Homo-oligomer: A and B are copies of this chain.
């Protein structure tokens, strides 16, 4: 089965995953915004720990109205742009299209499903260190696996298997599970402490881990998130927090995406990483108090420093 893929938002994430698929010979259609002219002329350059590559003659667009209808649409925009999705995606959606949100945070698959009630929707968790260093230039420094699951576990198995086969054939480790909620919450256990605290305290993961007070706070934020996740029915094991701390101890000093957004005065993904999870946990009976304080501080910063 030959699938037609769309990459909506070709940045560090979309450029890497879409680039890998295109490099392996698949039919990939890339939506660009500000970098359109540059990439049209020079192509896309990816420096990757798994081997550098360069793409020319890509299927490039700067408007979805010009794109063909696709079988699989990967949304790799910042979630702060998700209010545009309904209008943006409509031209490329057909009856059996799958939309996969490769984004951070909770609740967006459900939101999108309200806009496209008959379309199959999935979430993709990218475990990757990748950055767009200049127009048309991506550096993929580490990791790269994609973990996915379908909203309400409703999907066409043959197509899902083909997507998995295409990624694996292109050299991308790909896991498909059946519990989107658990996957999303697990990622939040890492994202909630490190994204917000590196912004509020203008620091990086290593400094948070090496200071007694902030390490304690990181741990408590993770534990609150696990408690919120479990209240919502997500399945998180008892040793998960210790594992996340341990993994972060071994990482290079790291500025998470929200810190990069802050440094570049881009809107921060507060809604998906904080407001939605806090509201869902509260609704389910658990009040993530310190997580909420981080949300309040980030909202202040976004409102007052931007």
Q: Which residues of A contact B (CB under 8 A)?
A: 200-201, 203, 207-208, 211-214, 216-217, 289-290, 293-297, 299-301, 303-304
Contacts and interface: CB of A to CB of B under 8 A. Distances in A.
Given A207-B304, A211-B303, A304-B211, A200 B290 contact: no
A213 B298 CA distance: 9
A213 B290 contact: no
B217 A297 contact: yes
Nearest to A202: B305
A207 B200 CA distance: 16
A150 to B, nearest CB: 34
B289 A213 contact: no
Nearest to A221: B293
A211 B300 contact: yes
Most B CB within 10 A of own CB, among A203, A214, A216, A293: A293
Given A213-B295, A295-B213, A201 B300 contact: yes
Given A213-B299, A299-B213, A203 B293 contact: no
A107 B41 CA distance: 69
A214 B300 CA distance: 6
Given A289-B290, A290-B289, A290-B290, A301 B217 contact: no
A290 B224 CA distance: 13
Contact of A296 (B214, B303, B304): B214
A200 B216 CA distance: 17
B290 A203 contact: no
Sort A-B residue pairs by CB-CB distance and give the 3 closest, nearest first: A213-B299, A214-B300, A217-B296
A300 B296 CA distance: 19
Nearest to A294: B293
Given A213-B303, A214-B299, A290-B290, 9 more contacts: A201-B300, A201-B304, A211-B299, A212-B299, A213-B295, A213-B299, A217-B293, A217-B300, A293-B294
Contacts of A297: 200-201, 213-214, 217
6 contacts: A203-B300, A211-B303, A213-B303, A289-B289, A293-B293, A293-B294
Contacts of A289: 289-290
